[in-house]
Each structure stands twice: as structure tokens, then as C-alpha cells.
């Protein structure tokens, strides 16, 4: 995985720099962790400067789309209308809605309401009601690079229980980001989020997690939120992935809507909330590329 290069050879990342001044020291440190039995990223998971810049530009469009739709969402509109607005805005900004056609997904955005956990399919028949909470999950492709983030929205007279859930899901992101540091582990993020969520009286969905993103819509590594500190993959500068825990008001169990093959809801019918960020691991910490 980490083939031998001479120190004066061109670095494998394509920077044009000599290996000794680019990734040599990082590679040596990764090999040390690997020798201790740790799971380490392969080079395809470590983005080059050019790739990071491309993902960063995609993230800017992703953020602008969510900022735009934040001012549009209102009680009485359909989720189908939100989908069309996002599709139009994405293309206006020079992007492509990445979910459209992905493994057959029929719409340009995922919109999940109340007890729906994720992958809700927009429809003109689904009308937003007073008191609803909803997640709008936008994945954007710009000049070949992907970014992915989602936000929660609270409509009208939302109950105190729902507001508390949405706020806890938002705080869970911050808790995870505190552990998003080079030479920590993905399991550090997972345990921090799970511990926080349980302390609030909620549960974290086990079957669905975050993922690498950037060159493809979904890449390795998988990011679990039921993992343990010191386990899972080593975090290395240049890794880009999502943090997106799905927080349930009740139990963690979920069910798939067999009729549409996509939408996942809570098994007990209680509410669920989720925020999502695309994050880059840096030498000094992290950078949020999309939120």
C-alpha cells in the first residue's frame, strides 16, 4: 500500500514536490501505526491539494444551495417543490444534483420528515405541516468533485420535544468534530457522539453512518457512530468524509419502506433528526467543507 519511494523522487500525490518534503514524514508515521495493528487509510483516501481545492469549491456550492432553500421552505409547500427548487438552483450555480439517478434514486435531494430517518423521496403529495421537522440532504457535484451536507428545519409551532431533539442532533456534530483530529481514530468520533446522544436520552442509528466523499459520492471509509475510542481507521491529514449521525428520540431500530426501496424510518414511529457536514482532516485539526 505504501510503496517504497526514494526521498528525492516525485511525491505520489501529484504535487510535483519531492517526496521528502511532501508526504514522506506522514507516510512514515502511518507505517508506524500500521505496524502496531491499526487500520490505516490507503493513498486513495488521502486527497491531494488539487482534489481538496475541488471538493472545497463543490462545498461552497452545496452551502449556497442550502442557504437558498432555507429562505424558501414554508408550511403548505410540497417536498416535490423543494426538490425542483434545489435542482434548478444547483444547475444555476454550475453544479449537478448528485442524488438524481444515483442507484436509481428518482429525485435531486433527500427530504425526510419527522419519523423518517433518511432517504425520503420528495413528492408533490407530501405537504409540509405546522409543527413538522425535516431534514434536507443535499449532495452536489461540481467539476467532477462531490460534497455532501444536510440541515434540519423546524416549521411553525414545533413541540418542545422536537426542538430538543433537533438541537441535540446539531450538538452531536460539534461533539464529533472535537475528535476529528489527525492521529485520532474514527472510533473516537463514534464513541463521543454515542456517549453524548445517550446522555441526552436518545439513540443513534446503527445501520447507517458517514462515508468518505470527494472523488465519488460515497467512498471509504465508513463512519460508524456506535464504535469505540481507539478503534476503526486512523485519521490522517487529507482524509475527507462526512459526519452525519442519525439521532432517534426513541429506540435505534429502523425499517425500510419496501414500497419505494429507499426511505428509512424509525421502527417505533418516534422522531429522528440529523445534521451532516463534509470535513477535511488537516495537520492542525479539521476544516468543514460543507455544512
> Is 11 within the bounds of a domain?
no
Please indicate, yes or no, if residue 25 is contained in any of the structural domains.
no
Residue 118 domain flag: yes
251 occurs within a structural domain: yes
Number of structural domains (the chain) is: 1
Peptide bond before 52: cis, by omega within 30 degrees of 0? no
In-domain check, residue 29:
no
Query: What is the number of other CB atoms lying within 10 angstroms of the CB of residue 245?
Result: 29
Q: Flag whether 4 is in a domain.
A: no
Which pLDDT score, from 0 to 100, does residue 69 have? 98
Q: What is the mean pLDDT of the chain?
A: 96
Domain assignment present for 120: yes
Q: Does pTM surpass 0.85?
A: yes
Q: Do the domain assignments include residue 47? A: yes
Query: Which CATH number belongs to the domain containing residue 150 in this structure?
Result: 3.90.230.10
pLDDT single digits (tens) 217-245: 999 999 999 999 999 999 999 999 999 99
Confidence of residue 63 (pLDDT cuts 50, 70, 90): very high
Helices (DSSP H) in the chain: which residue ranges?
A: 24-35, 49-70, 79-92, 160-177, 186-199
pLDDT confidence band for 2 (50 / 70 / 90): low
Residue 240 · residue 289 · CB < 8 Å: yes
> Which residue range(s) make up the domain with 135?
38-290
Instruction: Answer for the pair 73, 153: CB distance below 8 angstroms, yes or no.
Output: yes
Amino acid at each position: 500500500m505504501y510503496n517504497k519511494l526514494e526521498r528525492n523522487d516525485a511525491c505520489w500525490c501529484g504535487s510535483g514536490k519531492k517526496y521528502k518534503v511532501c508526504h514522506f514524514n506522514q507516510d512514515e508515521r502511518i507505517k508506524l501505526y500500521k505496524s502496531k495493528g491499526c487500520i490505516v487509510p490507503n493513498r486513495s483516501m488521502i486527497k491531494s491539494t488539487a482534489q481538496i481545492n475541488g471538493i472545497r469549491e463543490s462545498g461552497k456550492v452545496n452551502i449556497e444551495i442550502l442557504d437558498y432553500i432555507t429562505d424558501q421552505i414554508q408550511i403548505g409547500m410540497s417536498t416535490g417543490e423543494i426538490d425542483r427548487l434545489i435542482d434548478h438552483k444547483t444547475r444555476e450555480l454550475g453544479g449537478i444534483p448528485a442524488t438524481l439517478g444515483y442507484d436509481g434514486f428518482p429525485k435531486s435531494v433527500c427530504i425526510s420528515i419527522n419519523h423518517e430517518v433518511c432517504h425520503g423521496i420528495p413528492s408533490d403529495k407530501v405537504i409540509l405541516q405546522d409543527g413538522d421537522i425535516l431534514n434536507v440532504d443535499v449532495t452536489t457535484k461540481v467539476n467532477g468533485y462531490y460534497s455532501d451536507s444536510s440541515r434540519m428545519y423546524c416549521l411553525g409551532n414545533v413541540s418542545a420535544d422536537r426542538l430538543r431533539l433537533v438541537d441535540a442532533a446539531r450538538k452531536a456534530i460539534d461533539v464529533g468534530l472535537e475528535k476529528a483530529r489527525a492521529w485520532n481514530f474514527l472510533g473516537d468520533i463514534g464513541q463521543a457522539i454515542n456517549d453524548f446522544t445517550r446522555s441526552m436520552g436518545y439513540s443513534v442509528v446503527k445501520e447507517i453512518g458517514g462515508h468518505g466523499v470527494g472523488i465519488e459520492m460515497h467512498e471509504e471509509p465508513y463512519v460508524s457512530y456506535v464504535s469505540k475510542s481507539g478503534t476503526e481507521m486512523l485519521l490522517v491529514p487529507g482524509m475527507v468524509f462526512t459526519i452525519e449521525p442519525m439521532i432517534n428520540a426513541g429506540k435505534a431500530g429502523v425499517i425500510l419502506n419496501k414500497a419505494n426501496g429507499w426511505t428509512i424510518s424509525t421502527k417505533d414511529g418516534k422522531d429522528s433528526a440529523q445534521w451532516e457536514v463534509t470535513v477535511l482532516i488537516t495537520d492542525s485539526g479539521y476544516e468543514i467543507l460543507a455544512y
